[in-house]
């Protein structure tokens, strides 16, 4: 990823965009990939004391958890990250799907953000990944383990028009160890979005036997630190808000004509899903 914009926001701009009224300012960093997928980093002043997730509670539900990257050479990629001081938190998972064998490692980073590198059959990933000739791909997806899969899938379909792109399920002891589960999981996942080759969301069901899992719904809001929310670029913000209002979904922090690199002036709002995840929905204003 390459930095493309650094913006200092006033208290008024911070309040308008994030719905905050007790912070003086924020610094906003935007990093973009060659495939036009980006990460926006917010440094809020004064900083909050808490993170959305705790590093010793890998199976807690109802908050974003993992940013996924494809690694064609898994061992070399783990070595590169380890040499840079980023070591996998626990065990490395090895599991089998109908498409073949996969390996996965989780790296917990500052503010308890988890990055995963995943390898598997090259022909399978050719349907999902654009940057396949690098050591690491562009971010493939962001995943969230949730407590009510049906409600979350309905939210994304009815508000944003996202549809299921790929489904898979497995039971695997090495994966259980990697995420820190005390009991065997029965994982099922649905990847949703608009297109396989565009960034998508992974909605994860760990199964009924999660010992001590806690719902984090409501924690994924600014100024919490960590993987707080999803930014979505839309063509018709008002239509999205109308769909959310019809569904009785929480909509807040509506803003109008705010400068927001790299898109220029935007209109935006925050929409909270049934799993408590915040979505920053933005529409660039045509000049």
**E strand map for 173-277:** 187-193, 200-205, 229-233, 250-259, 265-272
Domain 66-205 CATH class label: alpha beta
Beta-strand pair 265-272/250-259: antiparallel
CA atoms within 13 A on the CB side of 14: 21
Average pLDDT value over all residues in the chain: 90
Which residues partner with 6 through β-bridges? 29
Most confident of 34-38, 156-160, 192-196: 156-160
pLDDT of amino acid 287: 66
Spatial separation of the C-alpha atoms in residues 192 and 108, rounded to whole Å: 24
> pLDDT digits over 276-286, tens only?
999 999 999 98
User: What tokens appear for 262 in the block?
Assistant: 């790299």
More confident residue, 146 or 109: 146
Share of the chain above pLDDT 70, in %: 97
Place of tokens 């500052």: 110
> Rounded to two decimals, what is the model's pTM?
0.93
Collapsing DSSP to helix, strand or coil, 94 comes out as strand
**What integer pLDDT is reported at residue 230 of this predicted model?**
94
- More confident position, 39 or 103: 103
Q: Are 218 and 159 in contact (CB under 8 A)?
A: no
Q: What is the β-pairing status of strands 200-205 and 139-145?
A: parallel
Q: Where are the domains of the chain?
A: 66-205
Q: Cα–Cα distance between 100 and 121 in angstroms, integer?
A: 6
Tens of pLDDT along 119-144? 999 999 888 888 777 888 888 889 99
CA distance 55 to 58: 7
């Amino acid at each position: 990823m390459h930095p493309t914009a650094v913006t200092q926001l006033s208290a008024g701009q911070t309040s308008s965009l994030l719905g905050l009224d007790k912070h003086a300012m924020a610094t906003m960093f935007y990093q973009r990939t060659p495939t036009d997928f980006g990460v926006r980093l917010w440094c809020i002043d004064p900083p909050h004391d808490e993170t959305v997730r705790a590093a010793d509670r890998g199976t807690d539900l109802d908050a974003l958890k993992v940013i996924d990257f494809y690694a064609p050479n898994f061992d070399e990629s783990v070595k590169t990250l380890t040499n840079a001081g980023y070591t996998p938190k626990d065990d490395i998972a090895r599991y089998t799907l109908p498409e073949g064998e996969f390996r996965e490692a989780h790296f917990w980073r500052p503010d308890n953000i988890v990055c995963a590198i995943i390898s598997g059959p090259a022909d399978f990933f050719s349907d999902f990944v654009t940057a396949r000739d690098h050591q690491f791909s562009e971010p493939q997806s962001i995943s969230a383990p949730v407590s009510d899969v049906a409600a979350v899938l309905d939210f994304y379909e009815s508000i944003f028009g996202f549809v299921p792109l790929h489904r898979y399920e497995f039971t695997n002891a090495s994966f259980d160890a990697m995420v820190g589960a005390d009991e065997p999981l029965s994982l099922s996942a649905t990847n949703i979005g608009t297109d396989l080759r565009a960034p998508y969301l992974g909605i994860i069901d760990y199964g009924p036997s999660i010992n001590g899992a806690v719902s984090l719904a409501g924690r994924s809001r600014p100024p919490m630190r960590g993987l707080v929310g999803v930014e979505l670029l839309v063509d018709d913000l008002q239509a999205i808000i109308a769909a959310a209002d019809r569904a009785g979904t929480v909509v807040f922090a509506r803003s109008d004509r705010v400068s927001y690199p790299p898109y220029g002036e935007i209109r935006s709002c925050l929409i909270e899903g049934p799993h408590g995840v915040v979505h920053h929905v933005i529409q660039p204003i045509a000049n």
